[in-house]
Structure 1
Amino acid sequence: MANLVSRPGAMLVTGLVTAAIVVVAVILLVQDAGNAPIQVLPPDPQSATAGPATSNLPEDSEVRVYVSGAVRDPGVYTMVSGDRLADAVDAAGGAVDGAQLESVNLALRVVDQGHYHVPSLGETPLPQMNTLTSAEGAETGQADPSGLVSPVQDSPSGWPDRS
């Protein structure tokens, strides 16, 4: 090894080979090779779906719902598809004092022709009102058109019975 380094011709050859390797490596790294740059496109809102079963209504379509019970102005209200039950209660003037809001799922998305009842304190909640009952509603986050729900019932243990 000492003999190669001591000879001037060998050092020149070693230097040229090293320089050639570096030049080839730089050319390969810098060269574009004709590849197009990767382009990330945002999702198209028209083709995106929320899940396996989604509403066929356009996002801004109107729905009519009936809000009854312990609200200031019960009646039929025009809402926007995707609004929540809390929005429908607000449209009906809000809940009155003594409304039993804990038995109503205010996060429920309202659907066209839905009937949503806000019970008063002491009133036995109507069976199957204001929560989801259909499998489709569970997948889409929407109630079935009847607006029927299973209210929270107190069990003998004092804890809510959610069955």
Structure 2
Amino acid sequence: MVKARLGNLRLPVVAAAVVVVAVCATVGILAAQPEKETPPPLPAAATSSSARPVTGRIVVSVVGRVPKPGLVTLSEGARVADAVDAAGGASGPDALALNMARRLSDGEQIYVGIPPPPEAVTVPQAKPAKVDLNTATVAQLDGLPGVGAVTAQRVIDWRTEHGHFTAVEQLRQIEGIGETRYTKLKDLVTVR
């Protein structure tokens, strides 16, 4: 009789053990699923309206979905594509929202594949620093309004022939820079 009773209990005990194992396995699988991660809020890059000397180099912050996020140092006149490349590049979908051809200014922050925080959208762009006539390259001068590659080279040639500029007004001595062009340039250049 005891044997018959134990035989009758064996099936429910085995069934209960199977249910317990199945529940433990389900809980284990659900607990092992990674939680969806959201990126932490990122601080907006501070900009300054005070003019800094032109050094030929700029520093920008690249954050988001790039292999090496952080600060990158680039040549003046660099573009968003140069900064993203310096941070290790970005995949197609992550780079779609970026204007890769836009020129950068010192102190910017570039968001790759993530939305910028709301306070970053309202921060106005800093005015670019004035171009120093005594250290400017052809590319920097060519970037000024009304100055093409030929006029930029003439500025460099004048500087080579006459030494350093001592006043912005000396631009008037360069062939191709008349009063109208000088008026456009005088507030964009400096002499240090």
TM-score range, shorter chain: 0.3 to 0.5
- TM-score, normalized by length of structure 2? 0.33
- TM-score, normalized by length of structure 1? 0.38
Instruction: Tell which structure's C-alpha radius of gyration is larger.
Output: 1
> Which has a greater percent of helix?
2
